[in-house]
Structure formats: C-alpha cells, structure tokens
Amino acid sequence: MPAWATWQLFLTYLVGLVFMVVGVWTARSETHRTGVLDRVLLFGPVFLAAPMAVFGMDHFFEAQGVSRAVPSWMPWHMFWTYFVGVALICAAVSIVLKRYVGLSAFLLGIMFLLFEALMHIPNIFRSPHARIAWNIGLRDINFAAGALALAITQTDEWQRSGTHRFLWVPRFLIGIPMIVFGIEYFFYPLLVPGIPLRINMPDWIFARPVWNYATGIIEVITGVCLLINRKARLAATWLGITVLLVVLFLYVPIMVVNATSIDNGLNYVMDTLALSGAALLLARSLSPKGANQPAAASQGSMGTQLHSDGPGPAKPVSLSS
C-alpha cells in the first residue's frame, strides 16, 4: 500500500463504499413503483445504513478513544465499545439487505435514545454552555428519529393504513433539532451547513455565508412544518434533498481534500448523509397509503417477524401490541 495509506483508512472507505453500492442496488428494485420525487425517498435507508457501518468500523479502529465516551460508572468500557460497533454494523447489514428491517431499525433507534440518556444529556448538564455538546445530542436524536421512522413503516398498522399513531415521535425528533441548527447557522455563518459542529468551510468555497443562510432558512422552515404537521411530508422530502446537495457539493470536496483523515473527512460526510437519510425516511413514513410500500416487508417487517427465530414463517405481531 502507498506510504500515506493505512489499513484503517482503506477498510473504512471500502466498507462505506460497499454499503452504499449494495443499498443503492437494492433500492433500485422499487423505483418502478414510484414517481420521480418519490424515488429519492427510496434511498433513505441506505443513506442511514452506510454511515452506521462506517461508525461501526470507528468503534474497532478507534476503540480507545471511543471507549472514553462510555460513562465512568459503567463497567467494561471496551466491551461496550465493541458491542456498539457490532450492533451498528449488524443494523446496517439488515437495512441494506432488507432482512428483519423493522426489528433492527427499532433497536437502532432505541440505542441512540439510550446514548442521549447515558452520555449526551449528562454531558450537557456538565457543560451547559458547550455548543458542541448540545449539537451532538441533537444530531443523535435525528439518527434515532430516522431509525424509528423506518421501523414504523414495517409495522402492521402502517402497512394497512399508511399511517401510525406514533408518527409524531420522529416528526418532533427531527423538527426540533432542525430549528435549532437552522437558527445557529445565522450566528456561525462560516461553519459547514447541515449539522453545525466544528469544521469551517474552506476558503476555496464560493460565497461561504450564503450556503449557511440558505440552508438555515430551509432547516427552520421545514422544522416548523414538521412540528405543526403542515405539509410535513413535503418538508421532510426537501429537507433530505437539501442536506444531500450539501453533502455532494460541500462535504464530498472537503473529504477529497482530507482523504487521509477519517475524522476530518469521511466521518463528516457520513454524519451529514445520515441526517439526509433520516429526513427521507421520515418523508417515506409520511407517504400516502400505497405510494411507497416496502418491497421486502414479508422478509424484514417488524410487524411480521419481530418474534421470529429465523428467516422462516413467523407469527404476525403488531408493534402496537
């Protein structure tokens, strides 16, 4: 391998690429059922799954650093680091291959909510004025919302009626962070738009503040629409598309410039891509009945296989029950 490359670098990029290719390929099987705009929604699962696989790899290659995020009162820090890495990769495999999607997406959403209770909220209480602590917590709430929205589309209730009594949960979990992120970009106009973390836009990006102001306005408007449940599906769709365009035109070039640094390149791409995926998954869950039925519900539905011991027949069980 070249002197500048490492196995960590090579394998992490390879895993991200493989999951993107497989996820896009499996999503193509449904494109003939939908209109032009709805086709974008079909890529929501892979936009969430590929980042989860990359983050899972981080838990192995950066185990020592990741383990420091485990609460001090919990035993076996390294065990939980590797366990979460395995869980993230397994969830990604399940989602892109459309096997037990409801179960894996539901557990993935619960895991991110546990991150909030065990790590992010205590960090916010310790440093209430730390902008990054708040934003990382809000970011993971978005990831949880995307996973829960995907799980909802696999339930019997959603399959029958095209809606679900708990759809308000992912709406709120995405709407509130979007309003906060959008407002924040007016105070920090040189941060890269999407999720306001630490990275600034490079000098070579044209009209740098304009990107943030435009993205901030869209995030605030779509967030409000999601909270009040007005044009929510359209708002979630355009939110996902907007963030995807930010990934393609800003984060991917930054990743190319920082190709040898996972932390300063690829991870930022995957963070923001997962945000796009969460918004598209929410829009998918808000689709009218019959507009976007999951193609592999019989193989991956939480509603039909939550209590199955294998890929064979299982007793139907509704999430609401």
Answer yes or no: is 95 within a domain: yes
How many helices (H) and strands (E) the chain has is answered by 16, 0
φ and ψ of 256, to 5 deg: -65, -45
Look at residue 162 and tell me if it is in a domain: yes
* CA–CA distance, 51 with 289 (Å, rounded to integer): 29
Q: Which pTM was predicted?
A: 0.85
- Structural domain for 17, as ranges: 7-287
- Residue 59: partners with Cβ closer than 8 Å, 6 or more residues away: 66, 81, 82, 84, 85, 88
In a domain, 236, yes or no: yes
User: How many domains does the chain fold into?
Assistant: 1
- Whether 320 is covered by a domain: the verdict is no
In a domain, residue 317? The reply is no
293 SS3 class:
coil
Integer Cα distance of 294 and 240 in angstroms:
19
321 residues of the chain, pLDDT tens digit each: 666 668 888 899 999 999 999 998 888 777 555 666 778 888 999 999 999 999 999 999 998 888 988 988 899 999 999 999 999 999 999 999 999 999 999 999 999 999 999 999 999 999 999 999 999 999 999 999 999 999 999 988 888 887 888 889 999 999 999 999 999 999 998 999 989 988 888 888 888 889 999 999 999 999 999 999 999 999 999 999 999 999 999 999 999 998 888 888 899 999 999 999 999 999 999 876 544 444 333 344 444 333 333 334 334 333 333
**CA 115 and chain centroid, separation:** 14
Please answer whether residues 178 and 275 qualify as being in contact, where contact means their C-beta atoms are separated by less than 8 angstroms: no
CA distance readout (Å), 199 to 40, 143, 186, 195, 241? 28, 20, 16, 10, 21
Say which DSSP state 33 is in. G
Residue among 73, 80, 76, 74 nearest 59 (CA): 80
123 is a domain residue: yes
**Is 298 among the domain residues?**
no
Q: Does residue 316 sit within a domain? A: no
